[in-house]
C-alpha cells in the first residue's frame, strides 16, 4: 500500500508535465447549461464543443500560453489565458449579446457594404479571393463616417473562411475592423480556430511558403534565439519629424477651409495657392522621416530574458530584413529557389514590451504594429499557431 501511494506522488507531477486539461461547464446568466459552445485555443487546431449539459474537456499541449476562447453566435465571447486556468474546473458564464441599434449616428448600410466590400476583402483576405473565400460574407455589416473618413466593419456571426491554398477552414470571430483613410491606417483583429481540410504536397508547399519570412517565422526565431540562422537581419531605425509636412496650424487651416467648401457645394471657388500647397504637402509627404541609426543588431539589443521568459523590448523602430527563397516541389522533395526576394518590415512597439511565446505568438499582438512585408500576410497566408514547418 505504501508503495502504491509513493508511486502516485512520483507519477502525478510527470503527468501534469505531459498532459494539461481545461474542463468545466458553460452556463448562461440564470445557470442554465449552454450546449455547442465552441471552445478553442486561439489561432490553433485545438478545440472542442460543450455537451448538452454544458460540460467540456479541452486537452492542451504542455507549455501552452494561448488564449482560450469560448464562442457561440448570439452570445458575448469570453477569453482567458490558458496558463491561468489549466488543470482547473471552471464555470464559464456567457451573456446574450446585446442587439445593436442599426439607426445610430453612423449607420451600417447596404450602400456602404457595396462601396467598400472590395476594399475590405483586399485588406482582410488578401489578393487571392478566388481560392480564399468567406462563405457567409453577406453577414458582414459596413459603416462609413464621411466626416472623419473612417470605415468600420462588424461581423455579427462567426466568419467561415475557406482557404483552398493552405487546406484549412477557419472559424474567425472578427472583433474589430477599422480603416482610417485620413491617416492611412487599417487595423483588424479577432480570434480563430482552424480545421484542416486537406494535406497534399501542393498544400504543404503553400504552407511552407506562407511561413517562411513571415512575422510568425520571425517571432519563433526570436524565442529560439536563432534570428540570424533563420535568415533575418535586424537594424535600429529612428523616427524624426519631416519639416516638409504641414504643421498643426496649417492642418487646422486646411480643415477649416474644407468645412467652408462643404457648406457651399454649389459655389465655384478658386483654391488659394497657400491652401493648395498645404494639400499637396499633406498628400505627398509623410509626417515623419526615418533613418537606420544602428545596423546588424544582436538579439540582446532588443530582447531580454526574465525568469526564462523572452521579452521583446526596444526603443524607436526595428527594421527586419529577410531574403525569402520560395520553396519548390521537385519530385517528392521540397527545395528552395536559387534567387531570393528581398523583404523589409518596420516594427513599432509604441514603448511597450511583449513576451514572446514558443509558438510565435506574443502577449499583446494587437499593439505590436508592422509596416512593410509582414503586413502582406493577411488571412490568405494565415497559419495555425501549432503549425510546424513541413506539416
pLDDT > 70? residue 18: no
pLDDT at 108 over 90: no
Instruction: Provide the pLDDT for residue 265.
Output: 66
Q: Which residues contact 240 (CB under 8 A, 6 or more apart)?
A: 288, 289, 290, 291
Is there a single domain that holds both residue 73 and residue 171?
no
Mean predicted confidence (pLDDT) in 209-219: 95
Least Cα distance to 173 among 183, 164, 161, 162 occurs for: 161
What gap in Å lies between CA 122 and CA 134, rounded to an integer? 12
What pLDDT, on the 0 to 100 scale, is given for residue 323?
A: 95
Tell me: do 184 and 66 sit in the same domain.
no
Residue 148: what are its φ and ψ, rounded to 5°? -100, 0
Q: How many CA atoms lie within 13 A of 29 on its CB side?
A: 5
pLDDT of residue 105: 65
> Is 194 found in the same domain as 81?
no
pLDDT score of 3: 33
The pLDDT of residue 5 is above 60: no
Q: What is the pLDDT of residue 85?
A: 87
Cβ atoms 341, 376 nearer than 8 A? no
Between CA 190 and CA 67 the distance in angstroms is 12
Task: Say yes or no to pLDDT of 315 above 90.
Answer: no
| 133, 12: one domain | no
For the chain, the average pLDDT equals 88
How many whole angstroms separate alpha carbon 314 and alpha carbon 306? 15
380 vs 64, more confident:
380
Q: Is residue 62 scored above 80 in pLDDT?
A: no
The torsion angles phi and psi of 324, rounded to 5 degrees, stand at -90, 115
pLDDT of residue 2 exceeding 80, the answer is: no
Go through the chain and tell me how many residues it has: 391
Bigger pLDDT: 195 vs 1:
195
Strand 159-163, strand 288-294: pairing: unpaired
Which of 46, 66, 93 terminates a domain? The answer is: 93
CB half-sphere exposure, 91, CA atoms < 13 A: 7
| Percent of the chain residues topping a pLDDT of 70 | 92
Task: Return the DSSP state at 204.
Answer: H
Asked if 58 and 111 sit in the same domain, the reply is no
H/E stretch holding 306 reads strand 303-306
Q: Are residues 331 and 369 in the same domain?
A: yes
Mean pLDDT of 324-345: 92
Domain count across the chain? 4
Tell me the per-residue pLDDT of 145-155, one tens digit each, with 9 for 90 and over. 988 899 999 99
Is residue 106 predicted with pLDDT exceeding 80? Answer: no
Q: Phi first, then psi: give them for residue 383, nearest 5 degrees.
A: -115, 150
- Predicted pLDDT at 159: 96
pLDDT classification of 13: cutoffs 50, 70, 90 = very low
Confidence check: pLDDT of 325 > 60? yes
pLDDT of residue 291: 92
pLDDT at site 183: 81
The percent of residues in the chain predicted with pLDDT above 90, rounded, is: 65
Same domain, 296 and 254: no
Which cell goes with 89? 474546473
d(CA 108, CA 88): 42
Whether 205 and 290 map to the same domain: the answer is yes
pTM of the predicted model over 0.95: no
**Mean pLDDT for the stretch of residues 312-322:** 94
User: With bands split at pLDDT 50, 70 and 90, how would you rate the model's confidence at 49?
Assistant: very high
By mean pLDDT, which of 63-67, 252-256, 309-313 is the weakest? Answer: 63-67
Using the predicted structure, report yes or no on whether residue 314 has a pLDDT greater than 60: yes
Q: Once rounded to an integer, what is the mean pLDDT over residues 166-185? A: 92
What pLDDT is stored for residue 266 in this prediction? 64
- Check which CATH number belongs to the domain holding 44 and give it: 2.60.40.1120
- Structural domain that includes position 230: 199-242+286-391
Using the 3D structure, point to which of 39, 66, 93 is the last residue of a domain: 93
Do 213 and 330 have their domain in common? yes
- Shared-domain flag, residues 67 and 157: no
Beta strand ranges found along 72-183 (DSSP E): 78-81, 89-93, 132-134, 141-145, 150-154, 159-163, 168-180
Three cell numbers at 370?
A: 508592422
- Rg (the chain; Cα; Å): 25
Output the pLDDT for position 104. Answer: 52
Contact between 234 and 303 under an 8 Å Cβ cutoff? The reply is no
**Same domain? 174 vs 269:** no
Q: How far are the Cα atoms of 259, 272, 273, 378 from residue 265, in angstroms, in the given order?
A: 10, 17, 20, 39
Query: What pLDDT band is residue 24 in, cutting at 50, 70 and 90?
Result: very high
Lowest mean pLDDT among 109-113, 196-200, 267-271: 267-271
Which range, 78-87, 170-179, 268-277, is most confident? 170-179
Whether 303 shows a pLDDT value over 80: the answer reads yes
Reference 301, options 239, 383, 234; nearest CA is: 234
Pair (391, 373) in one structural domain: yes
Residue 87, pLDDT score: 86
- What pLDDT is stored for residue 185 in this prediction? 85
Q: Which of 262, 285, 308 is the last residue of a domain?
A: 285
Amino acid at each position: 500500500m505504501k508503495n502504491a501511494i509513493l508511486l502516485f506522488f512520483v507519477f502525478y507531477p510527470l503527468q501534469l508535465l505531459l498532459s494539461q486539461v481545461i474542463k468545466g461547464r458553460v452556463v448562461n446568466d440564470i445557470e442554465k447549461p449552454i450546449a455547442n459552445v465552441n471552445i478553442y485555443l486561439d489561432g490553433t487546431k485545438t478545440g472542442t464543443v460543450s455537451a448538452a449539459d454544458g460540460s467540456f474537456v479541452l486537452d492542451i499541449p504542455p507549455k501552452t500560453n494561448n488564449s482560450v476562447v469560448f464562442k457561440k453566435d448570439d452570445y458575448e465571447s469570453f477569453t482567458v489565458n490558458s496558463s491561468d486556468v489549466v488543470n482547473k474546473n471552471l464555470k464559464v458564464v456567457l451573456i446574450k449579446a446585446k442587439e445593436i441599434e442599426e439607426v445610430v449616428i453612423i449607420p451600417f448600410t447596404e450602400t456602404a457594404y457595396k462601396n467598400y466590400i472590395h476594399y475590405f476583402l483586399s485588406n482582410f483576405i488578401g489578393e487571392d479571393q478566388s481560392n480564399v473565400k468567406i462563405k457567409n460574407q453577406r453577414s458582414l455589416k459596413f459603416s462609413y463616417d464621411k466626416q472623419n473618413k473612417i470605415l468600420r466593419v462588424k461581423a455579427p456571426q462567426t466568419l467561415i473562411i475557406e482557404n483552398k491554398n493552405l487546406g484549412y477552414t477557419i472559424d474567425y470571430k472578427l472583433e474589430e475592423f477599422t480603416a482610417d483613410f485620413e491617416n492611412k491606417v487599417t487595423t483588424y483583429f479577432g480570434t480563430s480556430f482552424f480545421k484542416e481540410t486537406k494535406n497534399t504536397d501542393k498544400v504543404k508547399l503553400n504552407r511552407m511558403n506562407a511561413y517562411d519570412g513571415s512575422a510568425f517565422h520571425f517571432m519563433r526565431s526570436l524565442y529560439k534565439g536563432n534570428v540570424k540562422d533563420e535568415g533575418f537581419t535586424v537594424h535600429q531605425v529612428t523616427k524624426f519629424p519631416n519639416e516638409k509636412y504641414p504643421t498643426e496650424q496649417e492642418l487646422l487651416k486646411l480643415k477649416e477651409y474644407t468645412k467652408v467648401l462643404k457648406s457651399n457645394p454649389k459655389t465655384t471657388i478658386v483654391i488659394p495657392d497657400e491652401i493648395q500647397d498645404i494639400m499637396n504637402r499633406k498628400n505627398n509627404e509623410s509626417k515623419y522621416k526615418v533613418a537606420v541609426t544602428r545596423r546588424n543588431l544582436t538579439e540582446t539589443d532588443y530582447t531580454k530574458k526574465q525568469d526564462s521568459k523572452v521579452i521583446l523590448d526596444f526603443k524607436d523602430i526595428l527594421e527586419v530584413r529577410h531574403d525569402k527563397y520560395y520553396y519548390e516541389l521537385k519530385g517528392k522533395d521540397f527545395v528552395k529557389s536559387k534567387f531570393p526576394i528581398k523583404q523589409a518590415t518596420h516594427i513599432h512597439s509604441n514603448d511597450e514590451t511583449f513576451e514572446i511565446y514558443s509558438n510565435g505568438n506574443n502577449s499583446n499582438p494587437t499593439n505590436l504594429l508592422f509596416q512593410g512585408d509582414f503586413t502582406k500576410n493577411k488571412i490568405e497566408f494565415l497559419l495555425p499557431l501549432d503549425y510546424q514547418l513541413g506539416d
